[in-house]
Amino acid sequence: MRADIVEAAMRRALTLATHSPTYGGNPQVGCVILAPDGTQIGAGYHHGTGTPHAEIEALRSAPAERLHGATAIVTLEPCRHYGHTGPCTQALITAGIREVYYSVPDPTPQAGGGGAELERAGLHVQGGLLQDAGERLLRPWLLAARHERPYVIVKTASTLDGRAAAADGTSQWITGPQARAHAHLVRAGVDAILVGTGTVLADDPSLTARTPDGGLALHQPAPIVLGDRPIPADARVRRHPIPLRCRAGHAPAAVLRTLYQQGMRRVLVEGGPTLAAAFLTAGLADELDLYLAPLLLGEGRPAIGDLGIATLADAQHLTIDAVERLGTDLLVRALIGDGAASTEQETH
């Protein structure tokens, strides 16, 4: 099949994949089925844990009589294992698919290797198509899979001079309504929110994801509080739809290891400067989302605590991924390295 037709189909599959949920243990995956003449006859994306994979959705959407000799375009290498659903490799073979193109190899030992299995069955297989775009889409899931810990987003809201609260402790609200609404969208796309006991005692947050009208979002992240101080019985977080989990101390690696074992792949650190610094100094933060308000305080609580950096040469280097205007505020999204720090790097 012509390369331009296959590439265009992969771009459609990548767009479809963005509709998959970002929370849960599964990756965002899209699939397009092309007839031998290059026309699209099926398409689908993964709707979340326990639902059919993108390949199955696409096969089911296509006329069965047109599948023999067709081509499957998939954003992630088809899986070869039995999980919540059966292996996609077998479904593609049974349907009579002749060619398979995928963007990103599956790094997991359970599901990886599907391409080789399809080749052994006589299919033409090509991986790495638009791989940079595929890896960008799947970055959080890939990092979680490769390093067996959730992808970590550290979120701060501060003035332009980096203050998260004034000298008297007041902090609500530094950013405006559009920035706060965006932050709730991010909350609704993660498996858990992590804060410290200091944040709970000072701000009494609910840690829910809310819609613009104030209602609860369909998906709620699990609330997790780290620290040694007790949480009051009447704290708002205790009324969260998901039971509160408390962990003593601020040991990021141990917490992340447990959350990964519980199926969580993306978490949001919303605690104060101490918790943010703990994840950053441990090398266990993958993304920094900074909501910046056009305010100056001069003095006050910093958004990020002491990182143990004494000289400019030792500064942490970030990559600016996006800058977005949200009303009068700015969101700066920065990526930290490649997220390759292992949960074995415990600094506490």
Catalytic residue positions? Answer: 55
- Identify which of 146, 52, 147, 58 has the alpha carbon closest to the alpha carbon of residue 104: 146
Residue type, 130: L
- Identify which of 191, 202, 257, 205 has the alpha carbon closest to the alpha carbon of residue 229: 202
3-state secondary structure string across 287-320: EEEEEEECCCCCCCEECCCCCCCCCHHHCCCEEE
Tokens describing residue 348: 């506490």
What letter does residue 210 receive in the DSSP assignment? B
3-class secondary structure, 186 = helix
Please, what's the b/e burial string for 173-191 (b: 16 or more CB within 10 A of its CB; e: otherwise)?
A: ebbeebbbebbeebbbbbb
Region of residue 162 (left: phi > 0; alpha: psi -120 to 50; beta: else): left
End-to-end C-alpha distance for the chain, whole angstroms: 55
Q: Are 143 and 286 in contact (CB under 8 A)?
A: yes
Which run of H or E residues covers position 125? strand 124-126
3-class secondary structure, 34 = strand
322 beta partners: 333
Whole-angstrom distance, CA of residue 43 vs CA of residue 98 = 16
3-class secondary structure, 84 = coil
Q: Are 160 and 295 in contact (CB under 8 A)?
A: yes
Whole-angstrom distance, CA of residue 159 vs CA of residue 207 = 22
Residue with tokens 């704290």: 235
Whole-angstrom distance, CA of residue 326 vs CA of residue 22 = 22
